[in-house]
Amino acid sequence: MSYAIETFNLTKNYGNGRGCHDVTLRILAGEAFGFLGPNGAGKSTIVKMLIGLTTPTDGKALLFGQPAGSVEARRRIGYLPELFRYPGWLSGEEAMQFHAQLCGMKGTEMKRRINQLLDEVGIGKRGRDRIKGYSKGMQQRLGLACALLTDPDIVFLDEPASALDPVGRYEVRELLQRLRKEGKTIFLNSHLLEDVEQLCDHVALLNNGRILADGRVSDVLRASASRWRFRVGGMTPELLDWLRETMIIPVDIVPWEDGDTPAWGEHWLEAELAEDEQAGYFNRLLMEQGLALYETQKVKSSLDEWFLQAVSGLEHRGENR
Amino acid sequence: MIAVWMLTWKELIRKKVTLMTLLLTILFWIAFYFIAQSAGASVSQYDSGIISLDNLLDRFRGSAILLWIGFFFASFATGFLAIFSSVAAITGEAEHGVLQSVFARPIKRTHWYMGRWFGFVTFCLAYALILFVSILIIVTYATGVHPDWSAIGPALALFISPVLLMVTLTMLASCWLAPLGNGVAMVLLFGMGWLGTMLDRVIAAGMFTANESTKTSDTMEVVSGLIRLLIPTDALQQRMLSELYQVKHLGQTFSSRDALGYFSIVNPPSDAFLYYTAVYFLIFLIAGLFVIRRKDF
């Protein structure tokens, strides 16, 4: 299996402590890769080096075996930058035509592709309007359409759903799922870990410019065991001890948040279960002990938890540092 | 490169740069026409049908002053258009993330840079050509005196060369400076060119000829020379006017300094200075290409 993206000790030193150091990544062709990290971790710097917008201080990066930033490598990529704004005096169609011409597209094939993509991202006929009249979400959709113009092998997306409403997010997620099925390599920079979890096969976590963790999403999620929460009434310390002994698993009481006013004996219990089926058994045990069971829920987005656990307690150079 | 060039024209048209420039130019044409016509009438009212040398010189003097005024406006109009059209070429677009998406495309950055450069330069040159021709037509029509036709070609080349310089310098500076800072810096630099000519004019007027003022005069000459080397735009304008004023048939009978007073041509630069300007231009154009190739975005 060939690698779509390979970096070897990729380093960018801006001289102010920012940048990234010795980043080594291998992303398989056709893989959806999620790049995670707190703000200021250096994610965008790495993406820019892969695109060729920034020159590495040290190390190297290859895209399908071609040096990152070379014209040959750029022929195979699509890129949606973060916080971009296309010129308001152009129409969506014109902006896409310009990008298509830069890629050597022309004639009816170019027009057909532009119309197809404008429809796919939900802009449609409004592509003829000037961009200055577009909402942030529409601009984001246009950026996505532009990134996909050449039917690229690798798509770099920097926060693709950041300005979208829930419907837009869903549509983008669907579009990315389709690209993944088509065998495209997706490099996704996103703070929406739910999206990363649903789309990506492979994630890496960057902090202070260094890779903290790198692995397959399924492995990451397996490592952080499935956790469930149960809201119960009438809980006593004795009953809690009994539950722990019976289930032979850690069961904890989750502290109430400020402002919550629980009834007497009402608690959230949290248990790490090896399988989801154990949740039913746990429910039955609670009720057999005469406890009131108000609510049962699975702790969602394990990637969120994994992310928080991985960076908690670590120094990181966020925007407020 | 052609796509970038065409997009630059579209930008200048859609951002109403063309519209505003044309509107202000029409106002200038109207005002200049009336000034030229009244100046032409005052010269011709002494005309008794026989054209004497004095009368011819009077007409020529009137024409030269009108050309000076017209090209003074044309100089700053084309200079400012060159500066403000290209002021946001790099950092302005990078701030909006536009450049990042463009440079991710399989094109050479130098091609993009040259596409933008050609776009700005051709737009400003088209405007400069219109101004140049219109000023000559108005002055010729109003005064009945036309410049030396053989000098038109070199004069036009000299008139448009500041446009090339200002677009080149502004684009290079926009690799580092934000649009506002770049605009201020370039206007100051362009204005400095005028200051150099102003110093030359003061020296030429003989205001510092007394013995005790010789030092002042020398210092001003050095400063003026340095300014011309730093920004040759106004020196080129002086050379252009000197080309237009040179009427070989008049020989020594017409001295611009004596006849034109404040509107005289001072210290028009030599051919060596023109070669210097060509090298200056090439260095900054190549520097721009070098910087854009290596710049991080």
Q: Are residues A30 and A124 in the same domain?
A: yes
User: To the nearest whole angstrom, how far is the Cα of B274 from the nearest Cα of chain A?
Assistant: 37
Q: Are residues A206 and A286 in the same domain?
A: no
Q: Are residues A136 and A82 in the same domain?
A: yes
Nearest C-alpha neighbor of A42 from the set A71, A6, A12, A67: A12
pLDDT given at position B139: 86
Cα–Cα distance list, A63 to A60, A155, B43 (Å): 10, 12, 75
Q: Report the residue from B3, B100, B104 with minimal CB separation from A101.
A: B3
Lowest mean pLDDT among A173-182, A221-230, B8-17, B188-197: A221-230
Tell me, yes or no, whether A310 lies in a domain. no
Nearest C-alpha neighbor of B159 from the set B139, B140, B136: B136
Tell me, yes or no, whether A316 lies in a domain. no
Give residue A229's domain range: 224-304
Q: Are residues A35 and A154 in the same domain?
A: yes
What is the SS3 assignment for B179? helix
Tell me, yes or no, whether A315 lies in a domain. no
Q: Is the pLDDT of residue A96 over 70?
A: yes
**Partners of B100 in the β-ladder:** none
Pairwise CB contact (< 8 Å): A104 & B106: yes
Q: Mean pLDDT score of chain A, rounded to an integer?
A: 86
How is B30-68 classified by DSSP, letter by letter? HHHHHHHHHHHHHHHTT--SS--HHHHHHHHHHHHHHHH
First to last CA, chain A: 42
Q: Are residues A211 and A239 in the same domain?
A: no
Tell me, yes or no, whether A318 lies in a domain. no
Interface of A with B in 140-159 (CB under 8 A): 143, 146-147, 156
Domain coordinates in residue numbering, chain B: 2-294
Q: Are residues A203 and A232 in the same domain?
A: no
Q: What is the pLDDT of residues A249-299, one digit of tens each?
A: 888 888 877 777 777 778 889 888 877 788 888 888 888 888 889 999 887
User: To the nearest whole angstrom, how far is the Cα of A1 from the nearest Cα of chain B?
Assistant: 26
Tell me, yes or no, whether A320 lies in a domain. no
Pairwise CB contact (< 8 Å): A81 & B100: yes
pLDDT given at position A321: 45
Pairwise CB contact (< 8 Å): A53 & B100: yes
Q: Are residues A118 and A137 in the same domain?
A: yes
Q: Is the pLDDT of residue A140 over 90?
A: no
What is the SS3 assignment for A196? helix
Task: Look up the pTM and report it.
Answer: 0.81
pLDDT given at position B83: 94
Domain boundary among A167, A201, A221: A221
Backbone angles phi, psi at B179, to 5 degrees: -50, -45
Rounded distance between C-alpha atoms, residue B295 and residue A53, angstroms:
8
pLDDT given at position A111: 93
Tell me, yes or no, whether A319 lies in a domain. no
Q: Which residues from A are below 8 Å from B107, CB to CB?
A: 71, 102
Domain boundary among A169, A197, A221: A221
Q: Are residues A156 and A168 in the same domain?
A: yes
Nearest C-alpha neighbor of B251 from the set B115, B53, B74: B53
Q: What is the pLDDT along chain B (297 residues), one digit of tens a residue?
A: 888 999 999 998 888 888 888 899 999 999 998 888 877 666 555 555 556 666 667 777 777 788 888 998 899 899 999 999 999 999 988 988 889 989 999 999 999 999 999 999 999 999 999 999 999 999 888 877 777 778 889 999 999 999 999 999 999 999 999 999 999 999 999 999 888 888 887 777 776 665 656 777 778 888 888 999 999 998 898 888 888 876 555 555 555 556 666 666 777 888 999 999 999 999 999 999 999 999 998
Q: Are residues A161 and A256 in the same domain?
A: no
A58-63 and A251-254 as β-strands: parallel, antiparallel, unpaired? unpaired
Neighbours of A93 (CB within 10 A): 19
Tell me, yes or no, whether A97 lies in a domain. yes
Domain boundary among A167, A192, A221: A221
Rounded distance between C-alpha atoms, residue A124 and residue B66, angstroms:
57
Pairwise CB contact (< 8 Å): B103 & A146: no
pLDDT given at position A320: 46
Q: Report the residue from A53, A87, A147 with minimal CB separation from B297.
A: A53
Q: Edge-to-edge strand order for the sheet containing A58-63?
A: A19-28, A3-13, A58-63, A66-67
Q: Is the pLDDT of residue A103 over 60?
A: yes
Q: Which residues from A are below 8 Å from B10, CB to CB?
A: 89-90, 94
pLDDT given at position B226: 92
Tell me, yes or no, whether A321 lies in a domain. no
Q: Which residue has the tokens 């990234």?
A: A20
Rounded distance between C-alpha atoms, residue B87 and residue B112, angstroms:
16
The count of structural domains within chain A is 2
Which one has a higher pLDDT value, A29 or A263? A29
Q: Are residues A67 and A187 in the same domain?
A: yes
Q: Which residues from B are below 8 Å from A89, CB to CB?
A: 10-11, 14-15
